A and B are shown apart, each in its own frame.
Chain A
Amino acid sequence: MEQKARFWKRVKKYRFIYAMMLPVILYYLVFSYVPLILGVITSFQKTRMIGAPAFAGPANYAAVLKSPVYGEAFRNSLAIGAGTFLVQFPLGLLIALALNEAGSRFSKSLVQSISFIPNLLSWTVVGGMWLSMLAPAGLVNQIARAVSGGSAPAVIFMSEQRYAQPIMVLSGAWKGAGYYAVLFLAAITGINPSVYEAAAIDGASRLRQIGTIILPSLRPTMQVVTLLAAMGVLRNFDQIYVMGNASIYPKVRTLLYLIYQDGIVDFKTGQATAAATLILAATFLFTFLTRRATGYDASYT
């Protein structure tokens, strides 16, 4: 009894602090928790323009799972996400290793800055840049023409399905490699210099030191980077929204873009929220599997 009274006394003591926290709690309730619950509820309802919503059971989920368009979008998301990661990861790692061995401070900071900047810019900027370079009169076609002596016909890259996914993968890696490089470089900088010295005394060459000291110490960063990529793989929207067009959608339309089209442009809310709920579940699953596969939890101490 007395304990309880003391507890409430403490609560009372913190009443102003609770009051300060109130806006934050309210914000999260309204803009985080309510949409989540609302989304799950909507996903079990029939979409209607007017009148009270009707319970639809798992019909929306069945529709999404059976829909060839959603299946295609799922494969596109995976292909573009995984492809981008597979290019961006080794590239970022190589850039970080190379920067660490760079002789002059100037060239190191120059290359680091220039490779990091695209990561700061929005997809509208980077996408606009790439679309301009890939246009018939753009840089890529012009270089191809100059190299071939003017004989190569201009390729309309953005309307050919076979180039669509490679373009998304390469532009994605171009934008993101510098970010990974920064992460890896931060980890490399954290290595105690005396470890190198000890290795040098034992006669290990610098290349050997990279293999035996630097790479193993980057393991935690590699795990984090892989985990972040797995969490984001089904959430690509901006890039496709800016760079996609009708003639290549079958190859590049991602899940999130499809949900945006269905739910916000076409008002098919039931189906869109069902798909979003499924993506959420899939993202949790991917995260879990990646943690397992990379041994993230085991090395987290």
Chain B
Amino acid sequence: MRRKSAFGNRLSPLPRLINRLFLAAVFLVMFIPMWNVAVLSTSTELSASAYGVRLWWSAPPSLEGYAYVFRVVNLLRPVLNSLFVSVVSTAVQVVLSSLAGYILIQREMPFQKSLTSFVFLTMMVPGDLTLVSLYQLNKRLYLVNTYAGLIVNGLISGFCILLMRNYFLSVPASLAESARIDSAGEFLIFWKIYLPLSVAGLATTFFLQFVGKWNELMLPASLISDQKLYTLPLVLKSMVMDSSSTSGTIPVPENAVMATVVISSLPLLLLYTFAQRYLLEGMTLGADKG
């Protein structure tokens, strides 16, 4: 706790005023674009396309845009696709990366070092740079245009394994030792001692991976051409294209596009509200040195 009263530990009045103004400016620059989306998405088609600075409703708010995306664009299917793919792959990711993380802390285990470098070497080569051959591989494995393809690619991330490994390393080894003396099985030690003490790590892995999967664009854009399998980002991308293009297709009305923007963001905003701690922690860890 920093004592507020200590002399010199607060800004003097003029810098303090400048600081306040700066923070207010940051707030406005970040907030206005989001507020603009919120207003547009709840405006009628007519007032959403009307001229004027639209930071307030010019006509009574309406949910027309939301009705449009579910009736005309059939957004329910992509929403469910995205949810399904994100939840399943995130769940598998949490299980596998905690298993792998636990295995990699076994100091006595032969080949522990080589296994560790085998896993962490993959972090050196970003997956998006092997996109073309990854696509060819998926084609040969019949994973193009399937849910399995969407789920399996990127199923295990070296980063999540590393994260879990670090959490396990902070569990006191003496706990596991005393359990081993009581001749507890290795899996029991993992399940009863390591996992309960690493719940924060599990949560961080889960939320980070969910956000990543929910937002994923490049992989679905490469693997999926069947509209039935479109995930939310793919649909939004094609709506954005249609509404700004000059091609013959009828553009999606602005309020509907913005409604889709809101629908795509809502789960993440909810996550942020409830799991802020884990998200921030995971993202800061990712940039930790060493």
Contact = CB atoms under 8 A, between A and B. Distances in A.
A195 to B, nearest CB: 11
Given A24-B119, A132-B258, A139 B36 contact: yes
B177 to A, nearest CB: 16
B229 interface: no
A21 B112 CA distance: 11
Given A27-B156, A142-B53, A241-B217, A235 B9 contact: no
Contact of B8 (A95, A193, A200, A225): A200
B81 to A, nearest CB: 14
Q: How many B residues touch the partner, as a band? A: 35 or more
Interface residues of A, number: 105
A61 interface: no
A175 to B, nearest CB: 10
B221 A241 contact: yes
B100 interface: yes
Contacts of A203: 8
Nearest to A179: B283
Given A20-B103, A130-B33, A200 B264 contact: no
B74 interface: no
A103 B221 contact: no
Interface string B139-160: 0000000000000111110000
Nearest to A99: B23
Contacts of B268: 120-121
Contacts of B51: 137, 142, 145
Max count, chain A CB within 10 A of own CB: residue among B3, B8, B22, B33: B8
Contacts of A273: 132-133
Interface in B27-77: 27, 29-34, 36-37, 40, 49-55
Nearest to A41: B133
Contact of B130 (A36, A111, A183): A36
Contacts of B109: 10, 14, 17
B84 interface: no
A205 B133 CA distance: 58
Given A101-B19, A273-B133, A209 B8 contact: yes
Contacts of A35: 130, 133-134, 137
A14 B287 CA distance: 33
Contacts of A174: 29-30, 33
A279 B94 CA distance: 31
A263 B138 CA distance: 14
Interface stretch (B165-173, B197-205, B232-240): B232-240
B257 interface: yes
Contacts of A98: 19, 22-23, 26
A235 B152 contact: no
A196 B287 contact: no
Given A14-B110, A121-B265, 20 more contacts: A10-B110, A32-B127, A38-B130, A117-B34, A120-B211, A120-B279, A122-B233, A128-B239, A129-B261, A182-B283, A183-B287, A206-B10, A206-B11, A225-B287, A238-B218, A241-B218, A242-B217, A263-B132, A276-B132, A283-B129
